[in-house]
Copies of this chain bind each other. A is one copy, B any other.
Amino acid sequence: MTANDADIGPDLTPDNMLCFAIYSANHAFSRVYKPLLKDLGLTFPQFLVMAALWVEDGQNVGAIGEKLCLESSTLTPLLKRLEALGYVTRNRDPDDERQVRVNLTVDAKKLRKKSLAIPGCLLAASGMTGKDYMALQRNVARLRDALLESAANPP
C-alpha cells in the first residue's frame, strides 16, 4: 500500500467505500428519524410504508414491496404491526382472494398531517441546500437503479 494508491480507485478501506458511506448514512438517517417518529409510534420502515400508502391508498402487498424494494416476508409482519397500531386495515381482495389490500384508517390520515413537517426537519439536519439535497437524491436513486439492474443481470 503506497501513499497514492487511493488515487487510482476504490480500495478496501471502509472510509473510501461508497457502499459504506451509503450503509452508514442509512443508519444516520434512522437515528435522526427516531425522535421525530417517536410521537407517531412508528419505526422508519413503517413510516416508509405509510408514505407509500399516502401516495396511493389501497395497494396490495406486492405493489408496496415493489415500490420500497421489500419482500412479503418483511412486509407481512410489518403490516400486521401497523394494523395493530390502528393505521391500516388488511383485507383479501374479493375479486382475487390471493391479494391483500392495505387501506389507510382515519388515524392514518391524521398522521399524515402531523408528518408533513418531517421532510423539512431532515433537510435541516442534512446541513444542505434544498437544491443540493434534491440533486443528491437523484444521484443516489440513479446509483440504486444501476445496482439493481446489475444484480438482476449479473455480468
Question: Interface SS of chain A: helix, strand, loop or mixed?
Answer: helix
Q: In the assembled complex, how far is the CB of residue A40 from the closest CB belonging to chain B, in whole angstroms?
A: 12
* Contact flag A140-B25 (CB < 8 Å), given A17-B119, A119-B17, A146-B126: yes
Chain A interface bracket (under 10, 10 to 19, 20 to 34, 35 or more): 35 or more
A44 to B147, CA, bound (A): 15
Residues of A within 8 A of B (CB): 9-29, 31-35, 44, 48, 51-52, 54-55, 67-69, 112, 115-116, 118-120, 122-128, 130, 133-134, 136-141, 143-144, 146-151, 154-155
6 shortest interchain CB distances as A-B pairs: A10-B119, A125-B150, A28-B147, A127-B146, A25-B144, A21-B140
